Chain A
Amino acid sequence: MPALFFRYKINQCGAQEMGRETVLYNSLVDIVGEEFVSNEPEDLYLYSCDGGTTEPRGVDYVVLPRTVEEVQKIVILANKEKIPLTPMGGGLTLNGLVIPVHGGIVMDMKRMDRIIEVNESSRYVVLEAGVSQGALLSYLKKHHPDLQHSLPEAPSIATVVGNILIRGHGSLSQCGDHSNMLNGIEVVLPTGEICPVGSCSASPHWFSKGPLPDLTGLFIGWFGTTGIVTKASLRLYPRPAKRDMVLFVTQNPDLIPELVSRLVQTRMADNIGMMEQEKPEYMKGYQFTGVIISGDTEEEMDYKRSVLARVPETCGDSENRVTLLGEVPPSSKERFLEEPPFAAVAADFRKGGGFQYCGIMMPVEKVPEAWRRGIAIAHDNGMLFQCANQVMSAGHEVMFGFNYSFNRADEEDAERARKAMADTNKLGLELGGIPWKADLQAQKQIVEKMDPRTRALMQKVKTLLDPNGIMNPGNWED
């Protein structure tokens, strides 16, 4: 099946003549060497699907460049041949964002894995686009134990640059999402120019995004449709000697906005998250709100614990209470305090390795309604309700993660998950929220709801940067 399937896709992207395939393949080999390009079905298979519910889509070539000059040559080639090009980090969005919609070349960045510089005094790291979260974590632990970066709740092979570009968040989301921690980037434009953006465009140092005209925005949140980020400078933060978790329990999601507001107001948290799951049975009906705290001394930690312990008194009433959990279960500590956090703990309970979630960014006050209607959506689609939510920056919004596990070997189960995802995205938009790292369908829903003049501006920017429409086409389309 694979061979025929991919031939069909090649035809779709316009490469009718048999000769062209060979020419393209040979050109790519000329650029990166034979080992680092493939059009073999067994290699392409891996790039045509991810762990989510997205149905596989054809890929024609995968190429792994090592240098920015190679990236540049590939971009120029893709323009000449008018073949789609999809840059890929860890490929872990679960929403198929780096599975090409119209075939073509997937550019896997993992060989560009150099950590180029750590500046301790000005606390930043400059790295290439293939550097993974795990690699940066180990590097800092070994060479700069006083510093840390905001670590997302994702497998270690997620890339740092990928998470910046999808506006991901991490263990220090109190300081903002990753795109807020950016000091600068190097980007290969869709037309092949290499552009430094940020202080590095006018200085040897990558210490600041401003105070220049902000060009970084042109590449953040665009899902690869405006260029290929090849380097980034990310801010680092003090690594405290101690970390701990304080856990609160409620039985009514209506209490959550007030609880979050009170917790944020104490200014004690590095990070605040919430969850509920219906399995195991004893967890059903309870909302757990976890607060990560940190400090250098036990005195500081004790003080923070004591402040947080007083929060339940200030929330709710005699019928609806917030309870402080005296002892945090080891499983919660493992999931939230370990580095990297053990994100996969709940992902595979249906077996079959399928897991996807709808991350909806929403105002804090919309959380209760999302919670109740989320439960209904899960049940209507024959799924269990499970959510994992994250408070962003200083209580400014919540990423509400509606989780759906499914058996990938069972197409009916996958279809149920797909339906639940679609319903959830619809709910999110209806509540005034916005799906995060939206899949194709959700992107379409967002664009449909978007102010038409904003849509036009988006398309103008895309056309300006990518006149031939080669960059991850099909995403953010009107």
Chain B
Amino acid sequence: MDVYGSLVEIVGEGFVSNQEEELYIYSRDSGAQQPRRADYVVVPKTVEEVQRIVVLANRENIPVTPMGGGLTLSGLAVPLHGGIVLDMKRMDRIIEVNEKSRYAVMEAGVTQGALHSHLEKNYPHLEHSMPDAPPMATIVGNVVIQGHGHLSVSCGINSQMVNGMEVVLPTGEVCKLGSCAVSPYWFSRDPLPDLMGLFIGWLGTTGIVTKVSLQLFPKPKFRDLLTFTSDDLDLLPDFIFDITQLNLMDNLFIISQEWPPWAQGILYVPIVSGQDEEEFELKIRLHKELVRKYEGKVTLVEGKHAERMRAARLPVPPVTLGVMAADAKQGGGFEYTGGIVPIEKVPEVSSRSVEIAHKYGQPYLLGYQLLTGGHSMMCGLAYCLNRADGGDVEKIRNALDDTSKMILDAGGVLWKAEAPAQRLMVQKMDPNTVELMKRVMKALDPNAIMNPGNWSE
């Protein structure tokens, strides 16, 4: 039987396609990467179906690329060497919420929006850390790319919030990782040998995560943000240190963009929350008192600009910088380099980003997010593009390439990097570490069928 026929046998005719009009959607995303062809798209419903597809792919030696929301913007779920795209969206069950031990177990197709609504409706006192992404981004996708969310300062990044996984290995075995390997409860990543690392950050090259247990957190009753502005870029590391030293915020956005003009300085936007008004007001006051010590070098923004910021950044998920500016040029294209850098490198990275944007005739568009309690900064250096204009797309690709090189040069690393940027990182990486990566990939995926071309030299 041919591959198509075998896939139909596994998932049913309604859930596999090799038709151009459907493959088109899976062969590109909204970023600046060139379209790449997918040969089949298949939408499984159960882990057994995933397993059978993997076994088939091994037998036929055909690449498999698992896909969540497909929203990385860097083409990570667009196959580099064709083959099958495995769209997880039908595996959309929220299996369990444990209220006392605060976790949710769900399948890989569950979206941020679906979990958010489920919790709002049934567990209004709990929340998960929700990324700055469209609600159709998946929970599992964000975990495995080491994404962050609206609790990243107070509670850490999303890959830290995983209690357990079920994963289909590239050779077809279904494995449970974390406490669920030993216990009926998905309550802990501890205290076993950590196998979960094998599937986090590997961009689908080591296996397919089919379920995850994610930690939930107390949801505050009051939330608000403050907006501070400053023109002094060099002050940034000290100011971030002082404001995180207060230890009172949930999240911190930093925004600097050429348009609108009032956003040209550096805007600091801490999110604070409280279980009652008193807590909340105390936190607001302590932040304002800190800023007063900066005597005019950092100032509080009030009035209509503060209201605009509140309208944009306070919702969970926020109206992202991307959405605000993504379509400035029309044509629906948007991509950014996510450089994760030490906080003291942020001024240098910011100045050099502005230079690169201007070199390519682009307005600068910087959206940063502080990671964990002030341990590093995700610098989103964004560009809009007109996808209908090949010249524009090419130009932005070059700008992204320059930006990636600049980040690496500044000692940063690249988050959810597109294939060319992955190569830059691998080239810079210690050869022993590269060798170890290769050994792990080879051991798990001897036929190299899993999203091949990623994390390669």
A residues lining the B interface (CB < 8 Å): 119-124, 146, 166-167, 175-177, 179-180, 183, 189, 193-197, 199, 201-205, 207-208, 210-218, 220-223, 225-226, 235, 237-238, 240, 257, 261, 264-267, 296-297, 299-300, 303, 307, 359, 361-365, 392-397, 429, 432-438, 446, 449-451, 453-454, 456-458, 460-461, 464, 476
Nearest A residue (CB) for B219? A265
Q: Closest CB-CB distance, A178 to chain B, in whole Å?
A: 10
Known: A166-B191, A365-B100, A438-B191. Contact between A212 and B201, CB under 8 A? yes
Nearest B residue (CB) for A226? B193
Query: Which one of B31-39, B227-235, B360-368, B426-434 is at the A interface?
Result: B426-434
Instruction: Indicate if B408 sits at the interface (CB-CB under 8 A).
Output: yes
Residues of A within 8 A of B412 (CB): 203
Instruction: Indicate if B215 sits at the interface (CB-CB under 8 A).
Output: yes
Cα separation A194 to B433 with both chains bound (whole Å): 8
Interface string of B363-380 (1 = CB under 8 A from A): 000000001111110000
Instruction: Indicate if B8 sits at the interface (CB-CB under 8 A).
Output: no
Query: Which one of B53-61, B176-184, B295-303, B329-337 is at the A interface?
Result: B176-184
Known: A202-B408, A457-B175. Contact between A217 and B198, CB under 8 A? yes
Can you sample 26 A-B contacts with CB below 8 Å? Answer: A121-B237, A122-B342, A122-B344, A146-B245, A180-B156, A202-B413, A203-B413, A207-B340, A210-B415, A213-B206, A215-B433, A217-B194, A220-B193, A226-B193, A235-B373, A261-B99, A267-B218, A299-B282, A363-B187, A397-B190, A435-B191, A436-B191, A438-B191, A446-B182, A453-B173, A453-B175
Known: A203-B413, A365-B100, A446-B182. Contact between A238 and B244, CB under 8 A? yes
> Are B194 and A361 in contact (CB-based, < 8 A)?
no
Instruction: Indicate if B440 sits at the interface (CB-CB under 8 A).
Output: yes
Residues of B within 8 A of A235 (CB): 372-373, 375
Known: A194-B432, A217-B195. Contact between A208 and B215, CB under 8 A? no
Known: A215-B437, A396-B215. Contact between A179 and B173, CB under 8 A? no
Nearest B residue (CB) for A463? B443
> Are A265 and B190 in contact (CB-based, < 8 A)?
no
Q: Closest CB-CB distance, A362 to chain B, in whole Å?
A: 7
B residues lining the A interface (CB < 8 Å): 98-103, 125, 145-146, 155-157, 159-160, 163, 169, 173-177, 179, 181-185, 187-188, 190-198, 200-203, 205-206, 215, 217-218, 220, 237-238, 240-241, 244-247, 275-276, 278-279, 282, 286, 338, 340-345, 371-376, 408, 411-417, 425, 428-430, 432-433, 435-437, 439-440, 443, 455
> Are B198 and A195 in contact (CB-based, < 8 A)?
no
> Are B275 and A267 in contact (CB-based, < 8 A)?
yes
Residues of A within 8 A of B145 (CB): 211
Cα separation A336 to B17 with both chains bound (whole Å): 62
> Are B194 and A220 in contact (CB-based, < 8 A)?
yes
Q: Residue A261 contacts which of B100, B200, B203 (CB distance < 8 angstroms)?
A: B100
